[in-house]
Structure 1
Amino acid sequence: MIRILQIIGIVCGGGVEAVIMNYYRHIDRTKVQFDFVVDGYEKTILDDEIQALGGTVYHVEPYKKNIFRYMNQIYHIVHDNHYDIVHSNMNTLSLFSLFPAWLAGAHHRILHNHSTAVRSEGMRSVMKQILRPFAPLFANHYLACSRLAGNWMYGKEMMSSGKVMVINNAIDLDKYVYSSEIRRRYRRDLQIPVDALVIGHVGRFMYQKNHGFLIDVFHEIALRSKNTFLISIGDGELRSEIEAKARAMGLESRIRFLGLRKDVQSLYNAMDVFVLPSWYEGLPVVSIEAQANGLRCVFSDRVTKESGLTRNTEFYSLEEGASAWAEKILKLSTERNAKAKEDMSASGFDIHVQASKLLSWYMTFS
C-alpha cells in the first residue's frame, strides 16, 4: 500500500479540503492511503472520519503563527514516517511544505494549485505574487484544479507542455440529486416558507468570497420581494463582520447563517438560486455541487468559465452592482435542471471515474 501525505492547511469547511476528502472517500484505500497535515492543534470536523478511513492526522503549528516551526514539523513528519509522496494543496504557500519535504527525502513532491488571485486583496495579493515563482521549485509533479488555475501558477507555456495535469473537483453525483422531500423538511427546520425564494451560498468567510457584496445583493432582493431568504453556509475570519452588516441592514430574520455543516449536500435542496460573487476562484467545488443539484446558478465573471457546466449557470460582472444583480436574479426561472447528473458526469466530474484516474497516476510512483 502507498501512503501519501496530504497537506491541506486550515480546516474550515473550504473547497480544498472538500476536494481532497471527496477523493479520499472514493479512492481504493487498499492500494492508496492518505494521511493529513492540518494547521492548528484543535480537533477538526474531519479528524474522526479520516481516522475511521484508516488515515492519520498530524496537527502542526499554523504557518501564520510561526513559519519556521511549521516547516520544522513538516520535515520531521516526512522524515520520521518515511513518506515518499507528499501532496501539497497549499497553492503558493506550498513552498513552505515542499522545501522541508525535499530536505526530508520525499522523492515525489506534488504541487496542487486550487486558486488564483486579484490585485485588490492587499498584502495577501502581494505575498501570492512574490511566492508564485518559488512555489514550484521543490515540486516535481504539478497539478491544477482548472486550466485557469494552472495558467496562473505555472504559466501558459508550461500548461501547453503537458507537464501539468488538471484534476477535476469531482463529487459523488448521487449525493446531490434533488429531493423535494428533503427540501420540505429542511425548509421546515429552518423556518422558511415553502413558497419563499431562497438564495444560497457556501463558502469560507474571507475576502475572496465577497460576502459583503452578497449581503448587498440580498438587501436589494429583500427590498423588492418580502418572501425571500438567504442561506449562508461556512465559517471564517470575516463571519462576525458580515453578520454585523446583515444586522445593521435589518436582515437578520431573513438570513440563516449556518456555519460549518456536514449536511451541505442536503441543504442545496432548500435553495432556489445559488450565488457565487467571488473576486477570484480556481474552480470552486461548490459550483459543481450546486449544479449537480440542478440549481439555477449565478457566478461572478471573476469565476472561471470552466465552472459553467450546465445551461442553468450564468455569469454577471461585479461592476454591474448589487441592484442590477438583484433585478437579474429575481427575473430568473428557478426550475431545476432535470438532467443535472447526466450533464455533470459527461463533463468529467463523477468522483467514481476521477478517483480511479488519480489512483492510476499515484500508482506510477511505486
Structure 2
Amino acid sequence: MKEPIRVLQIIGIVAGGGVEAVIMNYYEHIDRTKVQFDFIVHNDNKIDITPKVEALGGRVYKVTPYYKNPIAFMWDIYKVIKRHHYRIVHSNMNTLSAFSLFAAWAAGAPVRILHNHSTSSPGETKRNIMKFMLRPFARLFATHYFACSRLAGEWMYGRKMMDSGKVTIINNAIDLGKYAFNSHRRKILRKEMGLTDEFVIGHVGRFVFPKNHEFLIDVFAKAYKKNPHMVLLLIGDGPLRSAMEEKVKKLGLTDHVNFLGLRNDVQNLYNVMDIFVLPSHYEGLPVVGVEAQANGLPCLFSTKVTKETHLTHSTQFLDLSTGASKWAERIVSMKYERNEEVGEELRHAGFEINKEARNLANFYTKLSTGGT
C-alpha cells in the first residue's frame, strides 16, 4: 500500500485549549490511509497526547518550550524535520509560528503552513508587543496561509491579502452528532450533579486573560441576585483558576459556582446547561462556541467574538462595555429554549467535520504533489 502523506503539526502547548481540540478533531476524522499527522509539543505539558496519537498511527515529538529557550526550541524542530524529511509543516502557534516556521525553512521543508487561530486585545500590552513584533516573521517564513475565521485572517495577514484569495479559511468543524442535545443524558447528569430546577449558566475555557472569567463571575453575581436559582458551571483549568476560586469565595457564591476542571466529557456537560456564555476579550473563532450551538443551547457571546460564530438563530452578542449589570439582565431575560434542529444550519455553514476533513486531506494531497 502507498504510504500516507505525513504532515507535521506543531501545536506547542497542550492544555485542553481550543487549538489542539480543533487539530485533534481533524486528525480523528481525516482519512489516515491518505494523510497521517505527527505532532510537535512542549516537553513540559501536563496533558500527554502521545497515547491517543500513537493509537491513531501518529508520532509525538517533545521539544524544549519556546518560553524556556527559543533557540533550543527551533533547534529541536529543525532536527525533527531534517531527520524525518517532512515536506509539509503545519504550525498552529499563531505569531509564535515565526520560530517554528523559521526552523522548518532552515530544515528545507518545502511546504510551511501558518495557521492563525487568534487575534489580540488592548488588555495584554506585553503580549501584544511580542505578537506585533513576530507577526511579519511568521508570515515571512510561511508558504501557505490558513486562518480559522475572516477576523483572525485579517488580523494576521491584512484585509488586502484576505481579499486576494491567498488565505484559506479552515473552519473549526466538529462531530455534530457527538454534540447533539440528549434529553436523557441531561436528566441523568443533572441528577448526578444535584441539580433539579436550577438555571445553569455554562462556560468552557482555560483560565487565562482572553476568556475573561473575572467579568463572567461578576455577571453571575448580579444575575444570581435577580434569580437565586442560578448555578454557574466553569469547565477548564489554567493559571488564573485559583484567583477566580478566591473571587467566588469572597462573593459568597461558593455553593453556586462549580469549578469542574479539565474534563474529557464536555460534549455531555453541554446537556446540563441552559445557556452558554462566552465574554471573551478576543477570539479567533472559538470551537466551544460551535459545540454549544451544536447542542442547541442559547448562547451569549461578547462582540469581541467574531460574528462568524453566529451560526444559529439562538445566539446573541453583547458588548463588554455595557457592563456586568447589562449582561446579567440579558441572561435573565433570555428564554431557555433548546434548538434541536441545528444540524443542518451547521452543515450548511461548513462546520461538519467529516466533510471539512475531506477538504483538508485534498488540500494536503495537492500540496504534496506540487500543487498550490
- Shorter-chain TM range is over 0.9
CA distance in 2, matches of 1:29, 1:247: 48
Q: Which amino acid aligns with 2:328?
A: A
Matched with 1:132 is: 135
Matched with 1:120 is: 123
Q: What's the % identity of the aligned pairs?
A: 58
TM-score (norm 1): 0.98
CA distance in 2, matches of 1:106, 1:278: 36
Q: Which amino acid aligns with 1:61?
A: T
- Report which stretch shifted further, 103-112 or 32-41: 32-41
Contact 1:278 1:302 in 2 (8 A): yes
1:218-267 deviations in Å (ceiling 9; x for gaps) = 11111111111111111111111111111111111111111111111111
Matched with 2:100 is: 97
Match of 1:87 among 76, 90, 103: 90
Displacement after TM superposition at 1:42 (Å): 4.9
Contact 2:14 2:46 in 1 (8 A): no
Q: Which amino acid aligns with 1:184?
A: K
Between the two proteins, the alignment pairs up a number of residues equal to 365
CA distance in 2, matches of 1:81, 1:205: 36
Matched with 2:50 is: 47
Where does structure 1 differ by over 4 angstroms across 4 or more consecutive aligned residues? none
Q: CA RMSD in A?
A: 1.0
Contact 1:113 1:145 in 2 (8 A): yes
CA distance in 2, matches of 1:191, 1:129: 47
Match of 1:62 among 45, 62, 65: 65
Q: Which amino acid aligns with 1:215?
A: I
Structure 1 residue 363 and structure 2 residue 365: aligned? yes
Matched with 2:39 is: 36
CA distance in 2, matches of 1:329, 1:46: 37
1:162-203 deviations in Å (ceiling 9; x for gaps) = 11000100000000110111111211222222x110000011
Displacement after TM superposition at 1:119 (Å): 1.9
Match of 2:275 among 247, 266, 273: 273
CA distance in 1, matches of 2:215, 2:46: 32
1:323-344 deviations in Å (ceiling 9; x for gaps) = 1111110111110112111111
SS in 1 for 2:311: coil
Structure 1 residue 254 and structure 2 residue 249: aligned? no
Matched with 1:344 is: 346
- Taking structure 1 as reference, are residues 45 and 175 closer, same or farther at Cα in structure 2, changes over 3 Å only? farther
Q: Which amino acid aligns with 1:124?
A: R
Q: Which amino acid aligns with 1:223?
A: K
Match of 1:213 among 200, 212, 215: 215
1:261-284 deviations in Å (ceiling 9; x for gaps) = 111111100001100000111111
Displacement after TM superposition at 1:43 (Å): 6.0
Displacement after TM superposition at 1:44 (Å): 2.1
SS in 1 for 2:326: helix
Residues 283-362 of structure 1 correspond to what in structure 2 (within 5 A)?
283-362=285-364
Matched with 1:10 is: 13
TM-score (norm 2): 0.96
Structure 1 residue 171 and structure 2 residue 174: aligned? yes
CA distance in 2, matches of 1:46, 1:269: 26
Residues 123-202 of structure 1 correspond to what in structure 2 (within 5 A)?
123-193=126-196, 195-202=197-204
Contact 1:298 1:316 in 2 (8 A): yes
CA distance in 2, matches of 1:318, 1:64: 31
Q: Which structure 1 residue ranges, 5 or more long, are not aligned?
A: none
SS in 2 for 1:339: coil
Displacement after TM superposition at 1:45 (Å): 4.5
